[in-house]
Amino acid sequence: SKNHQKVITRHLWKDDLEVCEDIRHQRGMKERYQQRKETIERLFGTAKEYHNLRYTRLRGKSKMEATLGLTLACLNMKKYSKTMAGIVFLVCLKVIISRPIVITIVKEKTSWINIPVCLQSEIP
């Protein structure tokens, strides 16, 4: 400055960030953030680790948005189908091929109950 003094100015968003921090530390928000960690952050971690999104290999925002959108849409469909089926995690035991359908015997991880599942996509 002209007066040879350092001038410190707050960032434009600093007031809004303080409001967000106040909300985050209110009662009941810790449980919500725990739920967010279990659902949303896990989804992004899975996408990064198993679906090749740790590093970008495409140039351009539109190409990356298309790739990311398709990947997250697939992960959401997978999550939705598991929710609708009521099955948390399946372990394949054996595949029984009987014409015209394929039946896979699976176990639910939590209670280890045999559940027959018809996989129409695996018809020979």
94: domain range? 87-124
Does residue 17 share a domain with residue 62?
A: yes
Q: Cα 28 from chain centroid? A: 23
Our count of domains for the chain comes to 2
Is 120 found in the same domain as 61? no
Same domain, 69 and 120: no
- Is the same domain home to 58 and 93? no
Same domain, 94 and 50: no
pLDDT at 116 over 70: no
pLDDT mean over 94-120: 49
With beta carbons less than 8 A apart as the criterion, state whether 86 and 106 touch.
no
**Residue 63 phi, psi dihedral angles, 5° rounding:** -70, -40
Residue 54 in tokens: 């740790």
Same domain, 16 and 38: yes
**Tens-place pLDDT, residues 43-96:** 788 777 777 777 777 788 888 888 888 888 888 888 777 777 765 444 444 444
| Residue 18 sits in the same domain as residue 69 | yes
Tell me which residue of 66, 67, 89, 68 sits closest to 78, measured CA to CA.
Answer: 89
CB atoms closer than 10 angstroms to residue 54: 9
Q: What per-residue confidence (pLDDT) applies to 93?
A: 47
Name the least confident of 10-19, 23-32, 34-43, 90-99: 90-99
Within 8 A by CB and 6+ apart from 72, the residues are 43, 47
CB-CB neighbours of 9 under 10 Å: 6
Residue 72's H or E segment, with its range, is helix 61-85
pLDDT of 101 higher than 70 = no
